[in-house]
């Protein structure tokens, strides 16, 4: 998978794995990594799927309707890539924290839904429930931050609350930060994620 790896100044700090939104690239969220944990190493990944020329991490059938078969395939592809990247770049595979926005948050959520050892924690900006009707792994000890908009036209507050409930029932400690905004990523949401990160993962 096309990616950028930047070695941090603190090799004990969590490695931040960045997943962009629809139409983004592996450069989009680099400023977020700098804001949230400036000493961390960063692995920023580009999605392998194109939708009308726009990179994504998995296919969808329509707005808000995921191609579930492709989602499962791409989640496994990404999980295997993280193993390969750890070997290639020499970072601790067990010390990864995902930061995802929109489509990127959904693939990060799917990693949590499918693999108990995929991530040490996650910051999900405007995620949806990636998949329904499956048994989640034990996520005890894996904290998750969800950034959400009260007026988000793509991801409703009910969707956010459902995701929080599913992750919590699997053992995760979930913090939800609400903005009086839509689907966009605001500075105050990023600052809240940074504060949460320092408390829960730094």
**Closest Cα partner for 57 from 12, 100, 116?**
100
**Closest Cα partner for 27 from 13, 55, 46?**
46
**Closest Cα partner for 107 from 46, 33, 183?**
46
| Crossing angle for the helix pair 157-169 and 103-114, to the nearest 10 degrees | 20
Alpha carbon separation from 21 to 47, 135, 139, 141 (Å, rounded): 9, 26, 24, 27
Task: Name residue 62's beta-bridge partners.
Answer: 65
C-alpha distance across the termini of the chain, in Å: 27
Output the DSSP codes for 84-147: HHHHHHT--TT-EEEEEETHHHHHHHHHHHH-TTS-SEEEEES-----SS-PPP--TT--EEEE
Residues with a known catalytic role: 102, 152, 183
């Amino acid at each position: 998978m096309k990616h950028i790896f930047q070695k941090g100044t603190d090799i004990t700090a969590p490695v931040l794995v960045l997943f962009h939104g629809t139409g983004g690239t592996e450069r989009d969220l680099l400023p977020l990594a700098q804001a949230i944990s400036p000493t961390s190493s960063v692995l920023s990944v580009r999605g392998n799927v194109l939708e009308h020329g726009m990179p994504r991490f998995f296919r969808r059938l329509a707005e808000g309707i995921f191609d579930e078969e492709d989602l499962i395939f791409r989640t496994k592809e990404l999980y295997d890539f993280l193993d390969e990247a750890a070997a290639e770049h020499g970072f601790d595979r067990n010390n990864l924290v995902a930061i995802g926005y929109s489509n990127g948050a959904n693939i990060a959520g799917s990693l949590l839904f499918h693999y108990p050892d995929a991530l040490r924690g996650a910051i999900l900006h405007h995620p949806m429930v990636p998949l329904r009707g499956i048994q989640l792994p034990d996520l005890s000890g894996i904290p998750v931050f969800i950034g959400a908009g009260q007026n988000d036209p793509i991801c409703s507050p009910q969707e956010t609350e459902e995701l929080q409930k599913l992750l919590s029932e699997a053992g995760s400690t979930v913090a939800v930060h609400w903005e009086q905004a839509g689907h966009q990523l605001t500075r105050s949401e990023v600052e809240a994620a940074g504060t949460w990160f320092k408390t829960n993962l730094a």
